[in-house]
Amino acid sequence: MAEYDFLIVGAGLYGCVFAHELKKLGKKCLVIDKRAHLGGNVYCEETEGINVHKYGAHIFHTSNKKVWSYVNDIVEFNRYTNSPVARYKNELYNLPFNMNTFAQMWSVKTPDEAQKKLDEQKADALASMKAAGVSEPRNLEEQALTLIGKDIYEKLIKGYTEKQWGRKCTELPAFIIKRLPVRMVFDNNYFNDTYQGIPIGGYNRLIEGLLGGVETRTGVDYFANKAEFDSMADKIVFTGKIDEYFGYEYGNLQYRTVRFETEVLDTPNYQGNAVVNYTEREVPYTRVIEHKHFEMFGQEVCNNSKTVISKEYSTEWKPGMEPYYPVNDKQNTELYAKYKELADKEQNVIFGGRLAEYKYYDMDDVIEAALGAFEKIIE
Active site residues: 179, 183, 256, 287, 312, 360, 362
Amino acid at 287: R
Distance between CA 298 and CA 171 in Å, rounded?
A: 44
Beta bridge partners of 60: 197
**What's the half-sphere exposure (Cβ side, CA atoms, 13 Å) at 91?**
15
Query: How much helix, strand and coil, in percent to the nearest 5, is found in the chain?
Result: 40, 20, 40
User: In 3D, which of 331, 330, 324, 334 has the Cα closest to residue 359?
Assistant: 324
Helices 65-72 and 363-378: crossing angle in degrees, nearest 10, is 90
Give first-to-last CA distance, the chain, whole Å: 23
CA distances from 176 to 27, 140, 149, 170, 180 (A): 43, 7, 17, 12, 11
User: In 3D, which of 7, 143, 13, 122 has the Cα closest to residue 67?
Assistant: 13
SS3 101: helix
The answer for residues whose C-beta is within 8 angstroms of residue 110's C-beta and 6 or more apart is none
Answer whether 286's CB lies under 8 Å from 315's CB. Answer: no
Answer whether 307's CB lies under 8 Å from 292's CB. Answer: yes
User: In 3D, which of 122, 186, 114 has the Cα closest to residue 148?
Assistant: 122
Distance between CA 177 and CA 146 in Å, rounded?
A: 11
Distance between CA 140 and CA 161 in Å, rounded?
A: 9
Amino acid at 130: K
